[in-house]
A = this chain, B = another copy of it.
Amino acid sequence: MVRTTAVRADRKATILSDNARDFTALTRVRAVEPRLPPGNAEGTELHILLESMRLFAHHGYSATSVRHIATAVGIKAPSLYEYFPSKEHILARIVLIGHRDLLAAMENALADCGPDPVSQVRALVRTHVLSHVTYPLLAIVTNDELHHLSPDRAAEALALRERTELIAIEVGRRGVEQGVFEGSELAVTTAAIASMGVRAPYWFVPTPDYGTTDLADSFAELAIRMLKPS
């Protein structure tokens, strides 16, 4: 392929849209107010986490520079280093919050629930979906940007993820034991149910007529249909 002057113009357009990308760039998710579960930070530190989460969710970790974050917060880049020792530490913190929040929510849901596997699946799926669509930017960063962490820094989050998975697996296993759920496809069905919640932050927009709890109820119902023998 031959190089032409059009290539140069092309690059210029790219640079321009990078500098002003909030106006022209595509994003992975609709614009929503960035929120984090309460109790995780406050003041400028919280502000940095919120804007980082928003930028990471929309453009990805690698495409987001510390200058972008600083500008969004309203400070200069070196000031960020008063709060976090590196850009990777910011991501690590967000990813950890996301995994902790989901695990705690799942554990609480199961604790507030009877021993019936059907009720337990309903509670877990509802909680899983609600967690993802209540904090959509957090869910997206937690799932999609984790791999930018060094293995050391990812390890803690991955351990939490494993515990969350175990909760789901154990409930499914007990349902099969009791003859309520189909056993032959349990692993695949569990993965399918998880996928529904994981993808929800990318497309779901709550409306007055159909909010986050409605989606959670619908998905819980779907999960039961998927698990029961037909």
Contacts and interface: CB of A to CB of B under 8 A. Distances in A.
Interface string A43-62: 00000000000000001111
Contacts of A225: 225-226, 228, 230
Copy count, this protein chain = 2
A17 B215 contact: no
A226 to B, nearest CB: 5
A128 to B, nearest CB: 5
A154 B26 contact: yes
Interface of A is mostly: helix
Given A24-B150, A86-B11, A1 B190 contact: yes
A35 to B, nearest CB: 19
Contact of A7 (B17, B85, B125, B226): B85
Interface string A133-158: 00000000011101111110010001
Contact of A158 (B7, B14, B215): B7
15 contacts: A1-B81, A1-B223, A2-B191, A3-B194, A4-B195, A4-B198, A7-B154, A26-B146, A60-B148, A188-B219, A191-B199, A192-B222, A194-B199, A195-B200, A198-B199
Interface of A: 1-8, 10-11, 13-14, 17, 24-28, 59-63, 81-86, 88, 102, 106, 121, 124-125, 128, 142-144, 146-151, 154, 158, 161-162, 164-165, 167-169, 185, 188-200, 203-204, 215, 218-219, 221-223, 225-226, 228, 230
Given A2-B165, A4-B195, 12 more contacts: A1-B82, A2-B161, A3-B161, A3-B165, A5-B165, A7-B154, A10-B86, A14-B86, A14-B88, A24-B151, A195-B195, A195-B196
